[in-house]
Amino acid sequence: MKIFLDGKFVDAAEARISVFDHGLLYGDGVFEGIRIYQGNIFRLDEHLERLEQSAKAILLSLPWSRAEIAGFTCETCRQNGLADGYIRLVVTRGVGDLGLSPWLCPVPSIFIIASKIALYPAEHYTTGLAIVTVPTRRINPAALPPTVKSLNYLNNIMAKIEARQFGALEAIMLNDQGYVAECTGDNIFIVYKGELITPAASQGALRGITRSAILDIAQELGLPLRQADLTRYDVWNADECFLTGTAAEVIPVVKLDGREIGTGRPGEITARVLASFRRRVLTEGTRI
């Protein structure tokens, strides 16, 4: 496997960053997880726009243009013969001293991995997931905006660990007000009386690229859609539920906290959304 690292391609075994890199020391950096389908990088420009906005939010100056990063990303896929898979694009603050000060890191570092990912076992895409609500709350947006896709994912990791302790593959995280924010790595949608409802980003949810695609699909399919506060009660009593994310794609949820959602099987609207999504991933984006 070839890794793009600071302007050159190196073998995976030779892809190294300094122990003084603030991405490692402090989680100081930003990243994007991106999908490629049959040679089409899905919504690459939207991913790179979000990368730029995350970097701006943490005052990390990117010395590369969007077009240059797009070129790096496409070439990484070509170097690895990857037509279907997952791309991880990471920008760290770079090498500094052992203090927090980011202004002592003069040059950011970039690396890109193009490989495969399987977030959930394949059977759950047809049978649905049983998930739980975990005690760990989503970080308050006033502390760390969820719209910043940073390298600091310990909040999500703690929730993921708790999900496993409860025997689940995924978990809902509530915000400090008790409303549903998102899952450990996915956005969440419910269907109630024919209407799609999803938490607003202001409640602690990442503005997911796949989430954005679902908003477009709802308009295409003529489905009413609303961004609103959701409680666990709302999810328990939904007709359908599904999760969205670059790695997860669109996956149905059939049970939350031991309570069946709807019929306990993936629903018709979820199937329609998934079918439209699978068409879009082949055409929306950048061909390598």
- Per-residue pLDDT reduced to its tens digit, 56-76: 999 999 999 999 999 999 999
pLDDT at 97: 96
pLDDT at 205: 86
pLDDT at 119: 85
Regions in the chain scoring below 70 on pLDDT: none
Fold (CATH) for 2-115: D-amino Acid Aminotransferase; Chain A, domain 1 (3.30.470)
Angle between helices 268-280 and 209-221 (to 10 degrees): 110
State the pTM of this model. Answer: 0.95
- Distance, in Å, from the CA atom of 96 to the CA atom of 241, rounded to the nearest integer, reads 45
User: Is-catalytic flag, 8?
Assistant: no
pLDDT at 28: 98
CATH class of 124-285: alpha beta
Q: Select which of 8, 149, 193, 255 is catalytic.
A: 149
pLDDT at 146: 87
pLDDT at 106: 97
2-115 against 124-285: fold identical: no
